[in-house]
Structure 1
Amino acid sequence: MKTVTVGPDGVRPEHVVAVARHGARVELSEAALSAMGTSRSIVDGIERDARAVYGVSTGFGALANTFIAPERRTELQHALIRSHSSGMGEPMPAEVVRAMMLLRVRSLAMGRSGVRPLVAQALVDLLNADVTPWVPEHGSLGASGDLAPLAHCALVLLGEGWVRADDGSRVPAADALRRAGLSPITLASKEGLALINGTDGMLGMLLLAIADARHLFTMADVTAALAVEAMLGSDRPFLPELHAIRPHPGQAASAANIHRLLERSGVMDSHRDDLTHAVQDAYSMRCAPQVAGAARDTLDFAAQVADRELVSVVDNPVVLPDGRVESTGNFHGAPLGFACDYLAIAAAEVGSISERRVDRLLDVTRSRELPAFLSPDPGVNSGLMIAQYTAAGIVAENRRLAVPASTDSIPTSGMQEDHVSMGWSAARKLRTVLTNLSHLLSVELLAACRGLQLRAPLTPSPAGAIAVRHFAAYAGEPGPDAFLAPILEHTRTLVTEPGLRTEIEAAVGPLA
């Protein structure tokens, strides 16, 4: 996707990913330009009539009853952007800032914000010139939207504030605009407020997280299947008829993945008719689809919330087609905060059950004759003992991060804004949980591949053989202890990048 056209009907999730991560260009449709022009004419009429309308001719927040003289309304809008650019901390990743800017363009293009088309075009120009504002990590409460982060973006349009340099440092916005051949803009009434009053930051993070979670939840089925195979587990709990009688769609999809991944396995065939084999596997093996499937259903819920938000008008006040300008509460981030917290809980549990399978693979009393800690020479060698320590520490961190942010409100603005969503915080910690999940799945892939290697001369499933081949290319065969950190980094690449999954799907068929 090389170009994303933004119209008054919004954008799709894949558009956000294309612009945020892959540098797709952005353009405004003629319909969007027309919609913005129409709504701006309504604001201009209010200016002529000298009516008191929030954000147009009044102050903001607790100062909403303060009337602002016409000759000071541009000053009002610029002062709003400067004062709200009050974030602190490390800069947000460029992909988050780019997603946020695109989503603000989307909101303005819907023609309910009363801004001139040139304001939306100025944000488009930043995106296309790869000028990324420096947006600190702290500052948003998720109501009235992501005020401080969006203000740091808007400040760059004025030629003020900071921009991220290629080396990660920050440079003055005026210098960055000049190098890009861009000029600062001057805001008219309502426009400063329209640039910062929305849920774009938390929505952008949620959309990126959804894209990541979809892939990671599929890879969780891959690592689970390989771990079950390495532990001489049974494939019978993954039969489709057993999941049809509990019709959760995510569970059925996850079970189907694992069942397909375990087909044609010499390792599985070696014990299929062994009467001494365990009648039932442990929960971490047998219940993998129930946990990962529930996470998939949670992901579907979060995606539904995000899809609704993508076609929502979240500004305040909004300009209605009949000429009314009405205050709303649509900027409140509760729907997104709840979705982020819910998805973080689900992702944390996918990681937790993965770690339990790792521990089982390493425990000589439960791994069905694999050597202790998957070392051919345990004692002198510790094998993967401490890799499991790392996984356990990450699971503990994810448990802390799974505590909801959206239940923690703190009043602001002289009690005018007396309940906030904390949606920005919920989205930030969701990103961390998913990064942690990728680490946990990497440890499981490492342990499962090592376990399958130790089952030789038994032959693994086609999926297992592909994974072991990729793994062995840099990790080698089982032997004396090696420096594990770079091996884990390489294994994480197999988990997060599409190559291993693509090759496995070519051998076994598409995975849900």
Structure 2
Amino acid sequence: MIYLSEHGITLEEVKKIVLHGEKVTLSGEVKTRIHANRQIVEELIDKEQTMYGINTGFGKFSDVIIPSKDLTTLQLNLIRSHACGVGEPFSEHVSRAMVLLRAIALSKGYSGVRVRLVEQLLDYVNAGIHPVIPEQGSLGASGDLAPLSHLALTVIGEGEVFYKGKRMPTIEALAQAQLTPLRLEAKEGLALINGTQAMTAVGAIAFFEMEKLLYQSEQIAAMTFEGLRGIIDAFDEAVHVVRGHEEQIGVARRMRELLKDSLLITKQGEVRVQDAYSLRCIPQVLGASWQTVHYAKEKLQTEINAVTDNPLIFSEAEKVISGGNFHGQPIAFAMDFLKLGVAETANLSERRIERLVNPQLNNGLPPFLSPNPGLESGAMILQYTAASLVSENKTLAHPASVDSIPSSANQEDHVSMGTIAARHAYMMLQNTRMVIAIELICAMQAVEHYGVDQMASQTRELYKQAREVVPSIERDRIFHTDIEKLTTWLKEN
């Protein structure tokens, strides 16, 4: 059991809850803080003090005062009218992360909601109830309004959820889980939807996958290095220490470890004096990709514990302040930066694939790694597919965060598009995984040419495991199946 406390939560704990089903609950001191904060809201409502979104309209309607008798209707209308998302639904992991992160933000005690509302969100997480939330429709400022509204619909028993492997009306899932929908009180609808939890949830899942994918890319690159008889001198520690980037030093160290007992690697001058950049500069390029991951991790770690709705209620000072913490610019920038690291991981991999299959570059390997060149095309079109995926990544790498479009009659005149940035980063990750799967298919074929027994022990273990998924190329076959199987294997292992 993981407790939400005043000390916050770590990305690793989010991973345990979202991906591995760890249960989560509120600590006692957090419940006390939430309750005290809610009392302030109720007292200010009784005093008929004007407070944005509590007794006023929203956005351009912020100057419209709402009578006390209509405050709960105001919240209900908000949720229904803002549930305008379109497109395919987010994955259950992303949906689960959104519910968790919204609960964390509300648990900080600045949102003016009841304890019961936060507990309802955690009940969803613990029961495996995942709102059906369309991927598209958020501007990433004034909160992820559209996606979070679809989440909020389920809190009141409307909309749809995924539950026990099925998509169904929320009310059916709640009945099966022995839960009941809530009636939202003043401020609670706005508190549910004003935040950055869609982009942050997608960003967190992307971070988890990118971290694993980069390690896998290093392992596969090491096998390619063997298949092309790479020059190990380029990974010498002295080379990387004098430049000083810790991530680059780390990649070089791991490459030396992966290849330490290989009989296929070479020294300067044995086969050639220098390797092409796609081999020689693996630490420099992947090290820089790791820098984008570390930057994204830093910003995500802050944002998962951030208070991002509006207005905020400060209990001790009895102040209600309208601010802009819902603006997603920090995550938008982080995701756009991560996209560069993802793109270059794929770019470098595709260049190694080209060297493996090109008879003018592959150091004597069969043309296109074909078992019968000419009659059989071998891995020729595998490289085409990788090139296509890399090119698609380049279009997705365009920074979403520079594409602000005003909304709400220019009241909300600058937005982050952070959710688009996060979605594109995740799409690029899926493309990149397919690219490195193709590289692995080609690398395994290349090392077989020289002898698997000559491989380093670590790369040979990877070879053995991957060969249980995809057999050796002995004749032309439908390689689509190989790519799919190996891509799934990389994602799941």
- State the TM-score bracket (shorter-chain normalisation): over 0.9
The residue number in structure 2 matching 1:507 is: none
Kindly state the Cα deviation for residue 235 of structure 1 after the two structures are TM-superposed: 0.6
The one-letter amino acid of 2:78's match is L
Instruction: Tell me the residue number matched to 2:297.
Output: 303
Shift in Å, 1:187:
1.2
CA contact (8 A) 1:7 1:106 kept: no
**CA apart distance, 1:208:** 1.3
| Pairwise CA distance, 1:211 | 1.2
TM-superposed deviation, 1:493: 4.0
Residues 345 and 168 of structure 1: CA distance in aligned 2, closer, same or farther (over 3 Å): farther
**Does residue 285 in structure 1 map to residue 283 in structure 2?**
no
Aligned counterpart in structure 2 of residue 398 of structure 1, from 393, 397, 406: 393
How far residue 266 of structure 1 moved from its aligned partner, in angstroms, is: 1.3
1:263 equivalent in structure 2:
260
- Pick closer, same or farther for the CA change 1:478–1:456 going to 2, 3 Å: farther
User: How far 1:316 sits from its partner (Å)?
Assistant: 0.6
Residue 128 of structure 1 corresponds to 126
Distance 1:60 1:371, change over 3 A: same
Instruction: Tell me the CA shift for residue 453 of structure 1.
Output: 0.5
Give the TM-score normalised by the residue count of structure 2.
Answer: 0.97
| 2:264 partner SS | helix
The alignment status of 1:435 with 2:433, answered yes or no, reads no
For the 8 Å contact 2:59–2:412, the answer to whether it is kept is yes
Partner amino acid, structure 2, of 1:440: V
Partner residue in 1 for 2:23? 25
Q: In the alignment, residue 188 of structure 1 is paired with which amino acid?
A: E
User: What is the CA–CA distance in structure 2 between the aligned matches of 1:476 and 1:188, rounded to whole Å?
Assistant: 60
CA distance in 2, matches of 1:211, 1:55: 35
Q: In structure 1, give the amino acid aligned to 2:250.
A: A
Q: Partner amino acid for 2:186?
A: S
Taking the aligned partners of 2:174 and 2:473, their CA distance within structure 1 comes to 55
TM-score (structure 1 length as normaliser):
0.93
Question: Which residue of the other structure, out of 42, 45, 63, is the alignment partner of 2:43?
Answer: 45
* Distance (whole Å) between structure 2 residues aligned to residue 119 and residue 384 of structure 1: 55
The residue that corresponds to 2:327 in the other structure is 332
Cα displacement (A) at 1:9: 3.2
Q: Which residue of 311, 315, 318 maps to 1:317? A: 311
Distance across 2 between alignment mates of 1:6 and 1:81: 26
Taking a change above 3 Å as real, the CA distance of residues 286 and 274 of structure 1, as seen in their structure-2 partners, is: closer
Pick from 125, 134, 137: which aligns with 2:135? 137
1:475 is paired with a residue of what secondary structure? coil
Structure 2 unmatched runs, 5+: none
Q: Which residue of 2 aligns with 1:501?
A: none
- Give the Å deviation of 1:494: 4.3
For 1:8-19, list aligned pairs within 5 A: 8-19=6-17
Residue 474 of structure 1, CA deviation: 4.2
**Correspondence for 1:245 among 234, 242, 263:** 242
1:4 Cα deviation after fit: 2.3
Give me the whole-angstrom Cα distance separating, in 2, the residues matched to 1:20 and 1:455: 44
The reply to whether residue 229 of structure 1 matches residue 245 of structure 2 is: no
Give, in angstroms, the shift of residue 165 of structure 1.
Answer: 4.8
Q: Work out which of the residue numbers 399, 403, 417 in structure 1 matches 2:412.
A: 417
Inter-partner Cα distance in structure 2 for 1:312 and 1:182: 28
How far, CA to CA, are the matches of 1:134 and 1:492 in structure 2? 26
Query: Which of 330, 338, 341 is 1:346 aligned to?
Result: 341
Please tell me the residue identity of whatever aligns with 1:406. Answer: S
What secondary structure, in the 3-state scheme, does the structure 2 residue paired with 1:32 have?
A: helix
The 2-side partners of 1:310 and 1:326 are apart by 21
TM-fit CA distance, 1:168? 5.0
SS at structure 2 position matched to 1:90 = strand
SS at match of 2:25: strand
CA RMSD of aligned residues (A): 1.5
- CA-to-aligned-CA distance 1:137-175 (integer Å, 9 cap, x gap): 112110111111111111111111222355554x22222
Asked if residue 85 in structure 1 is aligned to residue 80 in structure 2, the reply is no
257 and 437 in structure 1: CA distance in 2 versus 1, 3 angstrom threshold: same
Shift of the 475–306 alpha-carbon distance from structure 1 to 2, 3 Å rule, reads closer
Deviation at 1:134, TM superposition (A): 1.1
Structure 1, residues 212-263: CA drift from partner, whole Å, max 9, x if none? 1111111111111111110011011001110001111111111111111111
Task: Give the corresponding residue for 2:186.
Answer: 189
- Match of residue 372, structure 2, among 374, 377, 400: 377
CA distance in 2, matches of 1:165, 1:473: 33
Q: CA deviation at 1:98?
A: 0.6
Q: Give the Cα separation in 1 of the matches to 2:71 and 2:432.
A: 49
Structure-2 residue corresponding to 1:114? 112
Matched, 1:198 2:195: yes
Q: Which residue does the alignment assign to 1:408?
A: 403
Matches of 2:471 and 2:171, distance apart in 1: 52
Which stretch has the larger CA shift, 132-141 or 102-111? 132-141
Question: 1: distance between equivalents of 2:95 and 2:169?
Answer: 17
Q: Distance in 2 between matches of 1:440 and 1:316?
A: 42
Which deviations, in whole Å up to 9, do the C-alpha atoms of 1:251-306 show, x marking residues without a partner?
111111111111111112xx54764x211100111011111000101111111111
Amino acid at match of 1:213: M
The 1:448–1:67 alpha-carbon spacing in structure 2 relative to 1, beyond 3 Å, is same
Q: Is the 8 A contact 1:449 1:467 kept in 2?
A: no
1:502 aligned residue: none
Q: Distance in 1 between matches of 2:365 and 2:487?
A: 24
Amino acid at match of 1:262: L
Call closer, same or farther: CA 1:379–1:11 in 2, change over 3 Å: same
2:415 counterpart SS class = coil
Q: What SS does the aligned partner of 1:290 have?
A: helix
Which residue number corresponds to residue 506 of structure 1? none
Amino acid in the other structure paired with 2:438: V
Query: Given residue 328 of structure 1, which amino acid in structure 2 is its aligned partner?
Result: G
Shift of 1:377: 1.4
Native 8 Å contact 2:470 2:486 kept in 1: no
Contact conserved, 1:61 with 1:413, CA < 8 A, in 2?
yes
Q: Is the 8 A contact 2:292 2:340 kept in 1?
A: no
| Separation of aligned partners in 1, 2:489 and 2:467 | 12
Check conservation: 1:8, 1:111, Cα contact below 8 A. no
Q: In structure 2, do the counterparts of structure 1 residues 39 and 402 end up closer, same or farther at CA, with 3 Å as the change threshold? A: same
Q: Is the 8 A contact 2:378 2:473 kept in 1?
A: no
Per-residue CA deviation, residues 378-437 of structure 1 (Å, 9 max, x unaligned), is 111111111111101100110011001111011111111111100111111111111111
